[in-house]
Amino acid sequence: ICEGTVILYVNRVMKAIRNKKLEFVQWPKNNNQVTVHAGFQAIGRFQNIIGIIDGTHFILNEAPA
């Protein structure tokens, strides 16, 4: 795959993620913030955390021809 093709597909994926951000990225509201804090404290002793970013890698199983 040429570098230009990779850049094209990375840009398409990033655009798709940005278009879905309101579905997946949310700030804790009301008392939910307390619950989120407690959850992070319980799983890893992290203090004052209200969110994280998942660093998942996406594997492209079917590269373009």
DSSP 23-38: HH-----TTHHHHHHH
Report the amino acid identity of residue 60. Answer: L
Q: Give the pLDDT score at 5.
A: 92
Task: Quick: pLDDT tens for 5-64.
Answer: 999 999 998 898 888 888 877 777 777 888 888 888 888 777 777 777 666 655 656 655
Q: Give the pLDDT score at 63.
A: 58
Q: Give the pLDDT score at 6.
A: 92
- Distance from chain centroid for Cα 32: 19
